[in-house]
Amino acid sequence: MKLYYMPGACSMVPHTALEWTGQPYEAQAANMQLIKSPDYLKLNPQGAVPLLVDGELVLPQNVAILQYLDARFPQARLFGSDTIEGRARAWRWLAFLNADVHKAFGPVFHMPAYAKGKPEFEAAIQQAARDSIVAMLAQADAHLAGQEHLGDALSVADVYLYVLLRWCRSIQLDLGSLPRLAPFFARIGANPGVQAVIAQEGLKP
């Protein structure tokens, strides 16, 4: 089983999931040049990580990979529960983080072409994106008032939030109004599987 990843990208989530399975796997570091190359685009026309290759199976998209790993290695409890309801609660957060919060970072990392070179638009778009990220993370912060994890127990949804919080740190987004996120970040960052991935991807803790 081989996972293509870029250091610190959302591929950290399936990378950590692979660590949690305890099964042998190969982690293939990639960069922008590789993921836009013709050979890679044949595997994933979206030109993005993560990408999992397992024998004949060629699987992009975080949620597809995570559900595949969960089905193959149920003992790893990637969704933190054995019950349908408990797993659904973790899925709800995973979907929110992957589909909604992750997307909000788009204009922060890559200014849309239509706004480039128009400083007043660029500033407004950046600010709106940053405000939107904080507003959405407030939902996670409020939820964490009553529990240590997003789901019933530690799950891949927590790792997704951890990765997004790393991005917040890299763009110096002020999360001071969301007091549960800093301890959450420290908790998840201390997990041995997360630590192993940080080391493998050559990241700072």
Ligand X SMILES: N[C@@H](CCC(=O)N[C@@H](CS)C(=O)NCC(=O)O)C(=O)O
Residues at the site binding ligand X, with contacts judged by CB under 6 A = 6, 9-10, 35, 47-50, 61-62, 98
Tell the smallest beta-carbon distance from residue 78 to ligand X (Å). Answer: 15
Closer to ligand X by Cβ: residue 10 or 140 = 10
Tell the smallest beta-carbon distance from residue 116 to ligand X (Å). Answer: 16
Give the largest Cα separation in the chain, rounded.
52
Closer to ligand X by Cβ: residue 29 or 152 = 29
- Write a three-state SS string for 40-83: HHHHCCCCCCCEEEECCEEEECHHHHHHHHHHHCHHHCCCCCCC
Closer to ligand X by Cβ: residue 147 or 169 = 169
Tell the smallest beta-carbon distance from residue 181 to ligand X (Å). Answer: 20
| Token couple for 177 | 């109004």
Of residues 184, 151, 194, 167, the one with CA closest to residue 10: 167
Closer to ligand X by Cβ: residue 50 or 107 = 50
3-state helix, strand, coil in the chain (%, to 5): 60, 10, 35
Tell the smallest beta-carbon distance from residue 110 to ligand X (Å). Answer: 7
Closer to ligand X by Cβ: residue 98 or 191 = 98
Query: Which residue lies nearest ligand X, judged by its C-beta?
Result: 48
Distance set, CA 156 to CA 5, 43, 165 (Å):
16, 24, 14
* Cβ atoms within 10 Å, residue 173: 18
Tell the smallest beta-carbon distance from residue 31 to ligand X (Å). Answer: 10
Decide: helix, strand or coil at residue 94. helix
